[in-house]
Amino acid sequence: MFHSYTKQILSPLGNNIFLYNNDIDKFVPKNYSKRVQTIKLNSEVQYLKGVGPRRAAALAGIDIHTVYDLLHFLPRRYLDRTMITPIGSLKANIDATIIGRVLGKGILYGGAKRLEVIIGDESGYVALIWFAGYKYLEKMFNKGDIYAATGPVSYFQQLQMAHPEIERIEDVQDQLIHTGRIVPVYPSTAELKESGISGRTMRQIINRALEIDSNEIGDYLPKRYLDEYNFLPLQKALRSIHYPDNIENAEQARKRLAFDELLQLQYLILCSRQKRTELKKNHKYKKSAKLVKKFVESLPFELTADQNKVSGVIIDDMVKTRPMHRLMQGDVGCGKTVVALIAAVYASESKLQTAFMAPTELLAEQHYQNWKEPLEKLGIESSLIIGAMSKPERRDEEDKIESGKIDIVFGTHALLSDPTKFSRLGLVIIDEQHRFGVKQRGQLISKGKRPDILVMTATPIPRTLALTLYGDLDISSIKTVPKGRQTTKTVWRMASARADMYDFLKTRLAGGDQIFIIYPLVEKSDKLDLQAAEDEYKNLKTNIFKDYKVGLVHGRVKKDKKEKTILDFKTGKIQILVATTVIEVGIDIPSASIMVIEHAERFGLSQLHQLRGRVGRGEKKGLTIAVATDPVSHLARRRLEMFVSSTDGFKIAEADLELRGPGEFFGTRQHGLPELKIADLSIDTDLLPYSREIVSQLLSDESDNKEPDIELIKLKKFLEKRSSERIELTRFG
């Protein structure tokens, strides 16, 4: 690595000579160049030639701090520049890469305004055309500059390439990096561009990082695993992901790096699981469950087979000496809440308190109102803690909780506040747990001494994702629905059919049906061309459904007004309830049988399914109408077709994972886990069993009793190092 020094100064500390280094924009000791010539994986990226502090700060914004991070920064796509076509050989309707010198440029005004740049080589010339961004682009081109251009060739009065990918070629070395090969295209941000890191510059920086000494990239994965799973060695994978021989080679490299990422993730998760199995809780439960039996007998319905089974498993977990960490998943309307209440009643029977946290005030209030009286009949006192309570009212409830007079506390994030203290918290129940971050869950759990933990989700989790995100949890599923639960018919229509839909809805209203109409926004937005609940409520109430009672609820409606509106809808005083997705989770109005979801193309598949779960909960069969507004993308159309074709939440979840990917399905940050930047759980499912098998072997007791395996020890040390900062952040803080 070479450095240009412009000044030298005498250090005030002794007689050391300090030189000013232009590359990193700081004074460094005179022998600095010798010290940094060897690039290491853990070297700070700012010390790479061409980076420096300013660019390093921009790279830090995308989590690139070291050379290791830089080499694991993957291209988002590739340009195939393996064949450079002479310009004179170009033909219309082909994709090509050319290299030529700028002969002239100009903004043309005939027809659509556009920038035209003429470049040529010894064989001919061609026009490069841009219809957008031409003012900025015009400044880039100077006569005599050499550019590589890749894109489709067309003919309109002349041969031309419209909006090609371009790279300025400065010298022969530049040409070797940027042309004549499969060229990586990296993700970019405004900060990267502002710091001068273009796609071309990123390739140069990464190319320098790839000059790292081969001994620095020692493969921590034992050779037997490389052979067994047909993985590329790490050094070859890192080089091939950036500069592959062909696209197949790039995918081979990605698979290897994806496996490494999943291996690190599984190590983190299984370490967390192993750690919690070693914990002992301070509280105990009575062996008898007489109060639980009495509670179940008092229910106005019979438990399903799955509810009985999962209830038994949860109680078995609770009596163990280690804290329970269980995830209960099930489709909308399958009866998870009553199973959670069985666990809470069992805790109460053993003189322990339960904290039951829900994601919305609407749901927390509903739980409290639904279960307050049945619990009182058993001698169990319950309470509600939400943000909308008055200070005196809340203080009174918190005093009762702290004194131990309250057995079960329903609430929202408000439960996390310091004033809410428990005297003997034994069980924590978290509803729709993916809506809470790991820090929030940790805050609630810390209010007790190693309490039992039951988390619930009405969005069934595909097995792939469950293994990845919930590997340290025991998982129970409820798949059967209660007797008498009606199926819901689903259709989707374009917005152009809205008038006919309104006529149909009027006939259903005349027959006594009640309707939800869901909008994505509360108020009209200048940035999004979407219908909003506030505006449409006025239109529906005044014009479309003026002969019927129409109500409105959303997150900004005051608590008292919201409660009254929902109660009026529940009792039939209101026939139409206009809402946002505030009603997505938990609201239970058995008399509502029809739901209209406006701008359905904007919702995820699992969210659509959650919304649909609000209807068909009573005697009448449910109907959901998803209304889509142009333009509807191919992906949105596939979502809507899947939504119509299935009411099985588990199938919906699998399809949602495939269509949207795990990043949107469930953000891993919500679980305190590092983001997956390379692995794609929709296509890398085959790698999960391998990664879990290797990590299980590393952590097993048997491996400690055998002859030391040097390769496995090396692998374990590497994983410990990569995971050390993350282990404490996983799962429950």
pLDDT over threshold 60, residue 433? yes
Q: What is the pLDDT of residues 241-286, one digit of tens each?
A: 998 988 899 999 999 999 998 898 888 888 877 877 788 888 999 8
DSSP state at residue 84: B
Q: Which residue has the higher pLDDT, 524 or 124?
A: 124
Q: Kindly report whether the peptide bond that precedes residue 631 is cis, defined as omega within 30 degrees of 0.
A: yes
Write the CA distances from 203 to 184, 325, 626, integer angstroms: 7, 46, 45
Contacts of 564 (CB under 8 A, 6+ apart): none
In terms of pLDDT, which residue wins out, 224 or 587? Answer: 224
Between residues 418 and 253, the one the model is more confident about: 253
Q: What is the pLDDT of residues 653-663, one digit of tens each?
A: 777 767 765 54
Cβ atoms within 10 Å, residue 572? 11
Query: Would you state the pLDDT for residue 396?
Result: 92
Predicted pLDDT at 727: 44
Q: Per-residue pLDDT averaged across 704-731, rounded?
A: 68
Residues 339-392 have pLDDT tens digits of: 999 999 999 999 999 999 998 888 888 899 889 999 999 999 999 999 878 889
User: What was the pLDDT predicted at 588?
Assistant: 75
- At 402 the pLDDT is 92
> By percentage, how much of the chain surpasses pLDDT 70?
83
Residue 540: its pLDDT value, please? 93
Q: Cβ(367)–Cβ(411) under 8 Å?
A: no
Can you give the pLDDT at residue 8?
39
Give Cα 24 to chain centroid, integer Å.
36
- Among 317-326, 412-421, 442-451, top mean pLDDT goes to 317-326
Which one, of 321, 301, 303, lies nearest residue 311 by Cα?
Answer: 303
Nearest in space to 422 (alpha carbons), one of 389, 385, 376: 385
**What is the pTM for the complete model shown?**
0.67
Residue 118 pairs in a beta bridge with 104, 127
Higher pLDDT, 687 or 467: 687
- Name every residue whose Cβ is closer than 8 Å to that of residue 546 and which is 6 or more positions away in sequence: none
Q: Give dist(CA 629, CA 531) in Å, integer.
A: 10
Please give the backbone phi and psi of residue 720, each rounded to the nearest 5 degrees, phi first.
-60, -45
Residues 520, 603: contact at Cβ < 8 Å?
yes
HSE, side-chain direction, 13 A CA sphere, residue 156: 11
Q: Which of 453, 519, 479, 440 is closest to 653 using CA atoms? A: 479
Are the C-beta atoms of 607 and 471 separated by less than 8 Å? no
**488-646: CATH superfamily:** P-loop containing nucleotide triphosphate hydrolases (3.40.50.300)
7, 20 contact by CB (below 8 A):
yes
Q: Of 322-326, 448-452, 610-614, which range is least confident?
A: 610-614
Average pLDDT, the chain: 82
Structure tokens belonging to residue 339 = 């199973």
User: Which DSSP letter does residue 541 get?
Assistant: I
Say what the pLDDT of residue 34 is: 41
Would you place residue 615 in the very low, low, confident or very high pLDDT band (cuts 50, 70, 90)?
confident
> Does the pLDDT value for residue 232 go beyond 70?
yes
Supply the pLDDT for residue 463. 65
Is residue 327 predicted with pLDDT exceeding 80?
A: yes
Per CATH, the architecture of 83-180 is what? Beta Barrel (2.40)
Give the pLDDT confidence score for residue 19 in this predicted structure: 46
Given this model, what pLDDT does residue 356 score? 95
> How far apart are the C-alpha atoms of 307 and 336, rounded to whole Å?
8
| pLDDT, position 32 | 44
| Four-CA torsion 127, 128, 129, 135, nearest 10 degrees | -120
Ramachandran angles phi, psi of 726, nearest 5°: -105, -25
Q: Give start-end residues of each CATH 2.40.50.140 domain in the chain.
A: 83-180
- Nearest CA to 474 out of 305, 700, 316 is that of 316
Q: H/E element holding 446? A: none
Determine which helix (DSSP H) or strand (DSSP E) holds 131, and give its type and residue range: none
User: What pLDDT is attached to residue 233?
Assistant: 92
Give me the pLDDT at residue 216, please. Answer: 72
CATH 3.40.50.300 residue ranges of the chain are 290-478, 488-646
Provide the residue count of the chain: 733
pLDDT band at 706 (very low <50, low <70, confident <90, very high): low
Residue 720 pLDDT: 84
CATH architecture observed for domain 38-76+193-213: Orthogonal Bundle (1.10)
646, 41 in Cβ contact below 8 A? no
For 286-306, the DSSP string reads -S--HHHHHHHHHSSSPPPHH
Complete DSSP assignment for 682-702: TT-TTHHHHHHHHHHHHH-HH
Question: Residue 528: what pLDDT?
Answer: 47
Give the Cα separation of 517 and 627 in Å (integer): 10
What residue type is 7 in one-letter code?
K
pLDDT of 30 over the 50 cut: no
Predicted pLDDT at 646 = 87
The pLDDT tens digits of the residues spanning 91-132 come to 888 888 888 899 999 888 877 788 999 999 889 999 999 888
Residues of the chain with CATH 1.10.150: 38-76+193-213
Mean pLDDT to the nearest integer, 140-166: 88
Q: 496 or 606: whose pLDDT is higher?
A: 496
Where does 290-478 sit in CATH, by number? Answer: 3.40.50.300
Angle between helices 634-645 and 605-612 (to 10 degrees): 30
Whether the CB-CB separation of 54 and 195 falls below 8 Å is answered with yes
The whole-number pLDDT of residue 43 equals 85
Is the confidence at residue 191, as pLDDT, over 70?
yes
Spatial distance between the Cα atoms of 220 and 678, rounded to a whole number of angstroms:
18
Instruction: Identify whether the C-beta of residue 656 lies closer than 8 Å to the C-beta of residue 604.
Output: yes
Q: At what angle do helices 336-349 and 305-318 cross, to 10 degrees?
A: 30
pLDDT(667) > 70: no
Is it the case that residue 641 has pLDDT exceeding 60? yes
Average pLDDT over residues 691-695: 87
Q: Which of 96-100, 314-318, 485-489, 605-609 is predicted with the least confidence, judged by mean pLDDT?
A: 485-489
By mean pLDDT, which of 362-366, 565-569, 617-621 is the weakest? 617-621
142 Cβ neighbours under 8 A, 6+ residues apart: 102
